[in-house]
């Protein structure tokens, strides 16, 4: 230790510095190093928990997104089925209305044919009556006197004649 004195180092002072240094290390370790390590460990644990929580939230979000996607697809499929069903029902209704309209049109045509036939028969009967009246009138004028036969019998004869001519034509 005496060899340090010529170099300008006091061994007692060196020992005091050394004791102070060790004491400072002990105090720093006791009051600073352990709390800093504890704080760093706590921070690492919180970061790990936050990462685990974030991963859990991400997984839940992924599950919710998948569930939402499935529900959206189900809603699309359901709305497409409803649209198809409505289209089919509309087509059936259109066909039913068209069929009913065709039946009604055919019924109207049949009624019109019956009405025309009835009017034709009435016109033919009226024409026969007029021809019979005209024939009786002509017969009176040609003969110049009142025909002795009953007028009803004359009309009957004329109608028979017209019906016979009708069958030949």
> What global pTM score does this model have?
0.42
Dihedral sign for Cα 36, 39, 41, 43, please. Answer: negative
Section 139-165 average pLDDT: 67
> From residue 99, how far is each of 57, 70, 168 by CA, in Å?
62, 43, 43
Decide if pLDDT at 150 tops 70: no
Residue 50: which pLDDT band, with cuts at 50, 70 and 90? very high
Decide if pLDDT at 135 tops 90: no
> From residue 62, how far is each of 24, 68, 91, 130 by CA, in Å?
54, 10, 43, 99
Decide if pLDDT at 149 tops 80: no
For residue 77, the model assigns a pLDDT of 95
pLDDT in tens, 85-130: 999 999 999 999 999 999 999 999 999 999 999 998 898 888 878 8
Query: Could you tell me which residues come within 8 angstroms of residue 53 by beta carbon, excluding any fewer than 6 positions away?
Result: none
Higher pLDDT: 110 or 137? It is: 110
Domain boundaries, the chain: 2-168
12 CB-side CA count, 13 A: 0
| 131 touches 154 (CB < 8 A) | no
Residue 53: which pLDDT band, with cuts at 50, 70 and 90? very high
User: How many residues appear in the chain?
Assistant: 169
Residue 18: which pLDDT band, with cuts at 50, 70 and 90? very high
């Amino acid at each position: 230790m005496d060899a340090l004195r010529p170099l300008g180092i006091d061994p007692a002072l060196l020992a005091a510095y050394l004791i102070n240094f060790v004491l400072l290390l002990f105090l720093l370790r006791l009051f600073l190093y352990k709390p800093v390590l504890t704080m760093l460990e706590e921070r690492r644990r919180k970061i790990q928990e936050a990462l685990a929580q974030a991963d859990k939230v991400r997984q839940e979000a992924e599950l919710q997104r998948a569930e939402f996607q499935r529900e959206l697809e189900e809603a699309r499929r359901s709305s497409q089925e409803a649209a198809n069903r409505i289209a089919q029902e509309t087509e059936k209704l259109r066909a039913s209305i068209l069929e009913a309209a065709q039946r009604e049109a055919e019924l109207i045509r049949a009624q019109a044919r019956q009405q025309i036939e009835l009017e034709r028969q009435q016109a033919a009967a009226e024409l026969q009556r007029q021809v019979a009246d005209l024939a009786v009138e002509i017969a009176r004028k040609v003969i110049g006197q009142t025909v002795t036969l009953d007028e009803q019998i004359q009309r009957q004869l004329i109608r028979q004649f017209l019906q016979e001519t009708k069958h030949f034509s």
